[in-house]
Amino acid sequence: MKFSSLMRSQFFAPLFWTQFFGAFNDNVFKNALIILITFKAAQYTEMSPELLIPLSAGIFILPFFLFSALAGQLADKYEKSRLIRMVKILEIAIMLLAAVGFYLQSIYFLIAVLFFMGCQSTLFGPVKYSILPQHLNEEGLLKGNGIIEMGTFLAILTGTLVGGIVIMFEGKGELYISILVISIALAGWLSSRKIPLAESANKELKLNFNIFTETFNIIAASMQNRLIYGAILAISWFWFIGATILAILPGYTREILHGNEQVVTLLLTLFSVGIGVGSIIAGKSKDLHTSIKWVVIGTTGISIFALAVYLSSAFLVEADSGLNDQELQGWLSMFAGFTQIQILAAILILGISGGFYIVPLYVILQECSDPQTRSRTIASNNIVNALFMVISAVATMILLDMGMSLYSLFAILGLLNVIIFIILYWQFASSIKKI
């Protein structure tokens, strides 16, 4: 199956656009709120942006811990296309609340809406990935996951850019952003209406509404299968790396590259496009067994080019050590010197390596899990992913508070990546060979 035919299929195309609009809308709203907090928080609250922004990030990710277990149960028990449509209707309702929050210009109301957006994303995650194996064979799964990952990161990038631009329209930003997020939610719902039936995997499942015991249960169940558990840990490590890089890029750009927001956008674009390109290439594998090579290539690339960013940055810092504070430069400054071009190339290939790495792991999760518990397995993955992202944020803050330079974090990531891969391979090599 070719990528073009997959994108024209009656099943995959509606699912792709449904998830794309969802990820796009999440990031339009999140970045619009961050911009509002950064520039207007003082008008509405005494809390500083430095506290409100990480608080908002934590509130968005909290539902993944609280409700992923329930989301996995729902996706296993009920017909999936109908469940997706219900989640999209919920998104429309949440975006209507967002419009109210923007109209009232209430920061706390909008942060509450952000929590509900996190709930909606939590519900959508397990069903989005568990529906794929019901309609695609192994080769189709590789291609489908490649396209999904490409679409997700492009949606994150474009949503972040659009949300930041639209909210800054003088006097009309809140109105325009309200219209936009409601329109995107409607587009996602319209796309979801064309997704074909995907029958229940386990109609007899009795829902456990105790989110704490069920969270423990699904994580414990996923640990029983060494291959699945290894894939979850490896995927979560990818999100640890990605979350760390995305968090430090703005400060790294300002302090090391002396670049303005245009340079931040350029680096984010290269990293996101790189992941998309790598995902598509890895998705061209004919079967899961041959695709495992991309995990190894991706791991190697992540370490090499994270260290390349560190070395090039160290050279820049040394060259600038005798200079006073420099004026922040635009994106064209990144093409003015060989070292800057090296950094751009390293960021791009770092993203491509991430795309190589992640696609086969998601297919392992889908293909090798029990169909009756597949959604709960994916929910377990989402919980561990969220945990690793929180650990990333805490570790980054601790290291920076200890005086670690921003560019040194790239070296730490590169070295840690080698260690983590060796540990995971040693623990799960026998399971991987059975694929």
CATH 2.130.10.30, applies to 1-194: no
Q: What is the pTM of this model?
A: 0.86
In CATH, the number for domain 217-435 is 1.20.1250.20
pLDDT at 316: 84
Instruction: Supply the pLDDT for residue 225.
Output: 86
* Same fold: 1-194 with 217-435: yes
By the 10 Å C-beta count (0-12 exposed, 13-18 middle, 19+ buried), 71 is classed as buried
User: What residues in the chain have per-residue pLDDT under 50?
Assistant: none
Rounded distance, CA 32 to CA 26, Å?
10
What pLDDT shows up at residue 401?
81
Query: How is the chain split into domains, by residue range?
Result: 1-194, 217-435
Convert the pLDDT of each residue in 65-74 to its tens digit.
899 999 999 9
- Read off the pLDDT of residues 374-408 as tens digits, 9 standing for 90 and up: 999 999 999 999 999 989 888 888 888 888 888 89
Long-range contacts, stretch 344-349, CB < 8 angstroms, 24+ apart = 344/266, 344/267, 344/270, 346/305, 346/306, 346/308, 346/309, 346/312, 347/267, 347/270, 347/271, 347/274, 347/305, 347/309, 348/270, 348/271, 348/273, 348/274, 349/274, 349/301, 349/305
The residues near 156 (Cβ < 8 Å, ≥ 6 apart) are: 23, 27, 272
Query: Which pair of tokens denotes residue 201?
Result: 């995997």
